[in-house]
């Protein structure tokens, strides 16, 4: 291998192993562990990896770089071969294919850098082309534009009409540097005659070579402003050009007609990737977007053509404003013909011309190049008769891309189209000649007018006007930009998995500290931050809204540049979220400003109703001026949420009042009801609308502070209250239970009875405004008032609850549940005020009217929540059905561990892939996929089981990696990841405990309430039947038997009871007996059905368990038999060896004398044989049999 090829191979290997591809190449870096993947060599004939590939390269084992490429390709082919049929590792196939593409890119990149031809490159192609017959050689027509050092207005010159071009260029006002248009014909591989080459295809290429007009960073920024301004100013029209054309029905036809596709999205991407070397390349790409639209949409009265012209006109104005104006006298790009719109309208009018006989477009066969209509090639002999092919599509493209600089050149090309048609079809097809004459006649009238205008005084004035034309963009006012910055800073971002909400712009406020982030300048050339933008606004630097928009967008582009290579998902997501919010905010503000011509003012804060303007508010909204007093009619104030009717039963059940209402301000302590007054002139003898009650409370505390002015513990208390107010029972406009305002405001008729029982009234709105007013000294005082709100309702409704009054029972039970929920939530939310207090009372569980924020109470609350939730049975559905609510909560717990930002941590715990020695340390291996599949199969019975399994994942990892983390980097990473994810799991469990325990309590109370309502309906039905019977039997005597009913207040489900025994049930009327029997039979059937289902499930479980035990027993017996047989075989072989050796010894010692009397006696053949049995061996055999049986 030559040194040049060796360097190429090294660069390819470096590209494949770079850190940029760390997410896809990590499986191919080292050899496959054959101990772990024992079947690898049976499927893969020749293993290979990137490390072995490098070693082979450096040791000189490759004679050519093609051999190196083959081994590199073998690495990824092996990955596909081994993993394509394995479900658990099928993702490796995708990684292998991506690495194959990376190998091809790196190969081309390295060979292009070295200036050599690849293994499948030009040499092989040249050989193939050389083998073709000469008659198949094709000609290419190359149209090249060569521009000098400075670019002025462009003029064209061809070989056939040089004289006409010279005349037209002489008519220009002043000579300027020209762009020469050369048309040459060449054969692709040389050789061949001209007659053979006329059947080939013909391609027209516009090559613009610019020099001295490079794309600098400043000009690139101006180009970004042009695109953003164009999208905003032509918001509706540019929607058609944002993405590539992808209509599946038309895409093939589109690609045949339009060779150089371009759209705004692709142009933006090219601009961001610095693919424009000159300004001219950007301008031509921008113009090509709209020229392609005009070239493809050629139907009669096509609606897209005016859209493209309007967008192009706006784009040209923006190019002049942002690029050409500041660069004068230097010309950065070729300008369009001053009357290009008139020329385009001529072509539009031509496309609308139809044949008088059939109504089709006359110019249909003149819109595209001739090969388009002949299968991609010119007909035989066409290029011999027609020296310069031309069509109206090409004319339109040259017009929009700025090739034409004179009207004469445009008119000459238009006439050339018809002349070519006549030259080819003369004497062959007179119908085409007739169409060409009709088109020529139409063009003469329009082109002559255009030429006359060009040579007139008006034409000269129009040229001068176009040169001086420049749009005006008003400088934005400081208040307008500051308002956008304020609203942008108010943007929030919520992590969907972690449920954490934060300010979206907090990371972009100040410049990046290079001391903390030393590699930041390597990624970002132009740093920007919100603080710098604020200074620039104050200094009046921004002359256009686009300048401001570019700077703000630059912040988020820099964020993506720096964090994308580092795979910082959180910052990338945050940057994209904030950038999207800014684009929406800025476009909305600018459209409002441009339509109205004035800066939109911030909406005024809504005024609270006062005594002076109370009549002007209805339902919280201002109404028109009222008529004169004599025309006034009494109107009742409408309330959005229906209020319960105040009655005696309601008065015994009401806990608090309407949502977001407040208590009437009190004199002195603010808690007494008697003698209270309000700044609002409210009639306390009638129910007060909710919004007025809220306003009256807030108006009594005028010194409320903003949230950012609160102390840390006050902010936590306010957050706790806001979370509590989102509870389903006390939220929204129609709460189920009312705890927001004082009771007497909504129900004034119970004013005296309520004040007699409740000495310290409290409600949620009063607690909120007192917190904002600074009335609380500690968090315990605030929590005590929240608890007092629900404790008052419980105290007031206790009597009605014992009597069985439905409304009182509902409020009593709801208050008890909300007391428990508020205690749990406060101990979880107000962390800064939790303290150790051994002398404080401890609330172990259940309902408590008050509690302290102590560590012991928090521990007991957590224990109570775990007892409630972990022992709760899941509402198990069938596999494949929609999950129940409890299963959905478990699924949320699982998904909280798979957030995108945690991929690098969870990679160790997702699949059941463990090291070989893992089971030696861990008794129960488990992974996230196992828990997820177990939940999908509905194998979890309680919530506690899935929580225990998830905790076991990380505890196993901590146990296994504890000792190895000091010597192994992988173990250290796994240990740290287990710590991080276990903390996140516990945070997710805390959230789930609150949600699930609240749901369990609410469902329990809702069930009791529904049962109570059902019992009430049954008693009403019994009373109705009794009344009907008495009306039908007025003379019958009814003996009333008094029944004694014992009420157990602690019972959750009250049995149905009746106050009377009705004798008519025993007098032959069996209607009710039949109903009762049916009800009883139905209940028995339901019980039997449930028992059968339970028995079936139990039988299946027992059968499966027995089957597994039998399988294990059979496997154990088989193993024991195999081991016993093996031991027996070994023993027999040893005995045979011993016997053989003893016989050999006997033969050697047979001739020797007997050493003793015993030996002589033993050698006597006539001696009596003695049979011996060893009991010790029998005991050992028995023990072995016992051991085998137990196995």
- Whether residue 1174 is predicted with pLDDT greater than 60 in this model: the reply is no
Q: How far apart are CA 390 and CA 366, in angstroms?
A: 9
pTM: 0.41
The confidence score (pLDDT) of residue 219 equals: 86
Edge to edge, the sheet with strand 139-146 lists 180-187, 139-146, 206-209
Looking at 921-1011, which runs of residues are DSSP E strands? none
- Whether residue 1170 is predicted with pLDDT greater than 60 in this model: the reply is no
The confidence score (pLDDT) of residue 686 equals: 54
CA angle 87, 88, 93 (to 5 degrees): 70
Under the banding of pLDDT at 50, 70 and 90, the label for residue 672 is very low
CA angle 357, 362, 366 (to 5 degrees): 150
Overall residue count recorded for the chain in this entry: 1191
Average pLDDT across the chain, whole number: 75
The confidence score (pLDDT) of residue 1058 equals: 40
Under the banding of pLDDT at 50, 70 and 90, the label for residue 1162 is low
Q: pLDDT, tens digit, for every residue of 49-76?
A: 999 999 999 888 898 888 999 999 999 9
The confidence score (pLDDT) of residue 596 equals: 61
Q: What are the tokens at 263? A: 């759209």
φ/ψ of 144, rounded to 5, equals -110, 140
Residue at token pair 């209607």? 1071
Q: How far apart are CA 1084 and CA 872, in angstroms?
A: 26
Q: pLDDT, tens digit, for every residue of 514-541?
A: 887 888 888 888 899 999 999 999 988 8
**183: part of which helix (H) or strand (E)?**
strand 180-187
Nearest by Cα to 169 from 179, 183, 159, 182: 179
Tell me the mean pLDDT in the region 782-794: 90
Q: How far apart are CA 113 and CA 970, in angstroms?
A: 38
Nearest by Cα to 365 from 374, 357, 489: 374
The percentage of the chain sitting over the pLDDT mark of 90, rounded to a whole number, equals 8
**Residue 320 per-residue DSSP state:** I
Under the banding of pLDDT at 50, 70 and 90, the label for residue 135 is very low
**Do 794 and 816 contact (CB within 8 A), yes or no?**
yes
- Whether residue 657 is predicted with pLDDT greater than 60 in this model: the reply is no
- Whether residue 14 is predicted with pLDDT greater than 80 in this model: the reply is yes
């Amino acid at each position: 291998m030559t040194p040049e090829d060796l360097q190429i191979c090294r660069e390819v290997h470096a590209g494949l192993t770079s850190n940029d591809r760390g997410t896809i190449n990590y499986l191919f870096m080292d050899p496959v562990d054959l101990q772990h993947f024992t079947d690898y060599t049976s499927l893969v004939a020749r293993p290979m990896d990137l490390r072995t590939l490098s070693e082979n390269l450096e040791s000189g084992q490759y004679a050519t770089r093609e051999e190196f490429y083959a081994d590199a390709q073998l690495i990824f082919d092996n990955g596909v071969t081994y993993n394509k049929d394995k479900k658990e590792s099928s993702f490796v196939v995708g990684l292998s294919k991506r690495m194959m593409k990376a190998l091809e890119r790196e190969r081309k990149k390295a060979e292009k850098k070295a200036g050599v031809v690849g293994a499948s490159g030009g040499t092989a192609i040249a050989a193939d082309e050389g083998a073709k017959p000469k008659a198949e050689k094709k000609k290419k027509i190359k149209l090249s534009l060569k521009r000098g050092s400075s670019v002025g207005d462009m003029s064209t010159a061809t070989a056939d009409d040089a004289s006409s071009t010279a005349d037209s260029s002489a008519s220009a006002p002043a000579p300027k540097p020209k762009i020469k248009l050369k048309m040459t014909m060449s054969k692709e591989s040389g050789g061949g005659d001209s007659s053979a080459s006329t059947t080939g295809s013909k391609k027209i290429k516009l090559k613009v070579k610019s020099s001295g007009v490079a794309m600098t960073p400043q000009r690139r920024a101006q180009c970004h402003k042009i695109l953003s301004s164009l999208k905003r100013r032509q918001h509706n029209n540019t929607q058609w050009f944002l993405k590539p054309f992808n209509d599946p029905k038309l895409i093939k036809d589109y690609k045949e007609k339009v060779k150089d596709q371009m759209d705004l999205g692709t142009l933006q991407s090219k601009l961001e990737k610095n693919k424009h070397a000159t300004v001219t390349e950007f301008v031509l790409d921008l113009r090509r977007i709209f020229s392609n639209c005009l070239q493809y949409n050629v139907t009669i009265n096509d609606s897209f053509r005016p859209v493209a012209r309007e967008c192009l006109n706006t784009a040209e104005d923006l190019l002049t404003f942002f690029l050409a104006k500041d660069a004068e006298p230097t010309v950065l790009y070729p300008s369009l013909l001053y009357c290009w719109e008139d020329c385009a309208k001529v072509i539009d009018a031509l496309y609308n011309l139809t044949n008088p006989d059939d109504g089709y477009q006359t110019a249909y066969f003149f819109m595209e190049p001739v090969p388009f209509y002949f299968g991609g090639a010119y007909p035989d002999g066409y290029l011999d008769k027609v020296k310069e092919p031309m069509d109206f599509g090409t004319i339109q493209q040259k017009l929009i891309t700025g090739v034409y600089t004179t009207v004469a050149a445009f008119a000459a090309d238009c006439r050339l189209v018809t002349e070519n048609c006549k030259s080819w079809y003369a004497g062959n097809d007179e119908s085409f000649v007739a169409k060409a004459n009709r088109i020529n006649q139409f063009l003469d009238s329009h082109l002559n007018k255009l030429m006359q205008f060009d040579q007139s005084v008006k034409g000269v004035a129009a040229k001068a006007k176009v040169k001086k034309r420049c749009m005006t963009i008003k400088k934005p006012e400081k208040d307008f930009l500051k308002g956008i910055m304020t609203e942008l800073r108010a943007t929030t971002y919520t992590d969907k998995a972690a449920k954490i909400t934060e300010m979206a712009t907090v990371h972009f406020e100040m410049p990046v500290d290079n001391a903390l982030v030393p590699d930041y300048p390597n990624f970002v050339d132009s740093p920007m931050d919100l603080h710098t933008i604020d200074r620039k606004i104050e200094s009046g630097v921004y002359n256009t809204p686009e300048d401001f928009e570019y700077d703000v967008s630059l912040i988020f582009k820099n964020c993506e540049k720096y964090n994308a290579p580092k795979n910082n998902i959180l910052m990338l997501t945050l940057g994209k979220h904030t950038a999207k919010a800014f684009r929406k905010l800025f476009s909305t503000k600018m459209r409002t400003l441009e339509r109205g011509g004035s800066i939109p003012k911030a909406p005024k804060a809504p005024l609270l109703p006062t005594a002076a303007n109370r009549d002007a508010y209805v339902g919280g909204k201002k109404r028109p001026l009222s008529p004169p007093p004599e025309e006034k009619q009494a109107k009742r104030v409408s309330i959005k949420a229906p209020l319960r009717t105040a009655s005696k039963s309601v008065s015994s059940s009401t806990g608090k009042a309407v949502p977001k209402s407040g208590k009437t301000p009190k004199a002195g302590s603010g808690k007494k009801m008697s003698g209270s007054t309000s700044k609002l002139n409210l009639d306390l003898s009638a129910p007060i609308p909710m919004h007025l009650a809220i306003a009256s409370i807030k108006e009594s505390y005028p010194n409320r502070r903003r949230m950012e002015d609160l102390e840390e513990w006050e902010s936590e208390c306010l957050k706790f209250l806001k979370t509590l107010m989102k509870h389903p029972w006390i939220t929204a406009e129609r709460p189920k239970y009312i705890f927001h305002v004082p009771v007497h405001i909504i129900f004034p008729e119970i004013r005296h009875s309520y004040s007699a029982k409740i000495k310290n009234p409290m409600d949620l709105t009063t607690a909120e405004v007192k917190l904002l007013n600074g009335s609380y000294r500690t968090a315990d005082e605030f929590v005590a008032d929240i608890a007092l709100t629900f404790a008052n309702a419980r105290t007031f409704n206790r009597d009605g609850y014992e009597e069985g009054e439905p409304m009182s029972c509902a409020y009593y039970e709801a208050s008890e549940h909300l007391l428990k929920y508020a205690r749990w939530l406060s101990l979880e939310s107000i962390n800064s005020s939790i303290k150790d207090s051994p002398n404080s009372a401890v609330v172990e569980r259940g309902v408590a009217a008050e509690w302290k924020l102590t560590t012991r109470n928090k521990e007991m609350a957590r224990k109570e929540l775990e007892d409630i939730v972990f022992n709760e049975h899941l509402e198990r559905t069938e596999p494949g059905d929609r999950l129940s609510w409890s299963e959905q909560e478990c699924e949320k717990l699982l998904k909280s561990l798979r957030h995108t930002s945690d991929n690098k941590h969870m990679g160790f715990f997702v699949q059941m892939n463990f090291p070989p020695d893992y089971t030696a340390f861990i008794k129960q291996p488990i992974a996230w996929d196992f828990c997820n599949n177990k939940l999908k199969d509905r194998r979890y019975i309680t919530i506690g089981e899935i929580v225990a399994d998830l905790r076991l994942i990380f505890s196993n990892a901590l146990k296994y990696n504890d000792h190895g983390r000091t010597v192994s980097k992988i173990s250290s990473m796994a240990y740290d990841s287990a710590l991080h994810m276990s903390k996140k799991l516990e945070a997710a469990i805390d959230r789930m405990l609150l949600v699930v325990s609240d749901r369990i309590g609410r469902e329990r109370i809702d069930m009791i309430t529904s049962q109570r309502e059902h019992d009430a309906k049954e008693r009403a039905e019994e009373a109705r039947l009794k009344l009907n019977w008495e009306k039908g039997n007025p003379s019958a005597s009814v003996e009333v038997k008094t029944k004694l009913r014992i009420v157990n207040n602690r019972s959750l489900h009250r049995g149905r009871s009746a106050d009377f025994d009705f004798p008519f049930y025993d007098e032959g009327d069996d209607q009710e007996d039949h109903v009762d029997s049916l009800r009883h039979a139905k209940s028995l059937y339901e019980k039997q059905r449930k028992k059968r289902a339970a028995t079936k499930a139990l039988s299946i479980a027992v059968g499966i368990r027995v089957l597994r035990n039998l399988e294990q027993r059979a496997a154990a017996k088989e193993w024991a038999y195999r081991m016993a047989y093996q031991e027996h075989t070994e023993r027999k072989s040893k005995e045979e060896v011993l016997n053989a050796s003893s016989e050999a010894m006997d033969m050697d010692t047979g001739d020797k004398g007997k050493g003793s009397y015993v030996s002589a006696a033993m050698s006597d053949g006539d001696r009596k044989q003695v049979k011996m049995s060893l009991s010790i061996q029998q005991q050992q055999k028995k023990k072995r049999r016992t051991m085998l049986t137990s196995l």
